[in-house]
Amino acid sequence: MSKVKKILISGGGTGGHIYPAIAIANELKLRYADAEFLFVGAQDKMEMEKVPQAGYQIKGLWIAGLQRSLTFKNMLFPIKLISSLWKSKKIVRQFKPDVVVGTGGFASGPVLQVASKKGIPCLIQEQNSYAGVTNKILSKKVAKICVAYEGMQRYFPSDKIVFTGNPVRQDLLEVSTKRAEAQAFFKLDTNKKTLLVLGGSLGARAINQMIENNMKALQAQNIQVIWQTGKFYIDEYKKFNDLDGVQTHAYLSEMNLAYAATDMIVSRAGASSVSELCIVGKPVIFMPSPNVAEDHQTKNAMAIVNKNAAIMLKESEKELLMTKVQYLLQNQESVNQMCKNMTALAKPEATKRIVEEIEKIAKWN
């Protein structure tokens, strides 16, 4: 009788780290129905809610990153790190994983550090075109690094890199068949165009302010809006639900239906969002966050814009939103080509490729 496979997955802090981790777990579960899974995250972050919702057990570490300025939180960092390493040792010792997967975020550092030291095969999945500090440190210790952008040998040992693309929710592969169901789900007027606004799981103040400032213009164009404000901003913007054709959401749990219902999208350019939008293949206006390490969201967006597959709007150009929207409404032939170019960049098999690499380092095939 073969031994039950045990898989430890660590990553979190944002949806961009959590959803790839869940997608990888789901694919592994399809292949190994009796496998045991355990997630490790930061104890006060969104993974503590989202991972159990996906049906997996999670343990939390007392860990956070260094702040850019001198704060009390920074003084606590060494204590948190020691605490997290100690707890990670206990988790690894008790769970006895066959393989460990890290998808980024501060919690993955102590876990993969401990596991790799014990000789347990480890794999990193790096979503961005710019590698985070945790993954750069871990890259010397892990067996494989799955990446979504070319040129990542700037950060990682080239012999460990596998170009796979980013994992995405598998229900996105069926978006094109779900339009009628999606319009009914969101109670949309099928005679109007729909704009989907995405600021990431926590929200984006600049995007929310831009939509607020252009709401009258959008309504004048007969455009209805599905607006994900993020949990930090919902109380400020839920008053817009009183307007005809406008709905605000702190969070959209049915992302496949949100994508299926829409005609155009305004979005941040986090790596997971970019990967999802390539598969969805709808007209996109990217507004990258300028407040991230090495401005990597702009680099993510430009990789798509340079292939004539999307439009980019800097935060400093947000008064040009309606000009961009008008372009999407009035240039159907160009927009159709843009959507084709976007779809050509998609990597729908990314999750399967990553799982194949996990199987290799775990010696399951």
Contacts with 49 (C-beta within 8 Å, 6 or more apart), sequence order: none
With beta carbons less than 8 A apart as the criterion, state whether 106 and 113 touch. Answer: no
Tell whether 297 is in a known binding site.
Answer: yes
Cross-strand bridge partners of residue 58: 39
Cα–Cα distance between 100 and 300 in angstroms, integer? Answer: 27
Helix axis angle for 271-280 and 332-344, nearest 10°, is 120
What is d(CA 326, CA 343) in angstroms, rounded to the nearest whole number?
22
Nearest to 11 by CA among 51, 40, 37: 40
Kind plus residue range of the DSSP H or E element containing 227: strand 223-228
Residue 308 in marked binding region: no
Task: Look at residue 184 and give its three-state secondary structure.
Answer: helix
Q: Is 128 part of any known ligand binding site?
A: yes
Residue 14 marked ligand-binding: yes
Provide the residue type at 54 as one letter: A
- Is 262 annotated to bind ligand? no
Q: Which residues are annotated as a binding site for UDP-N-acetyl-alpha-D-glucosamine?
A: 14-16, 128, 169, 201, 297
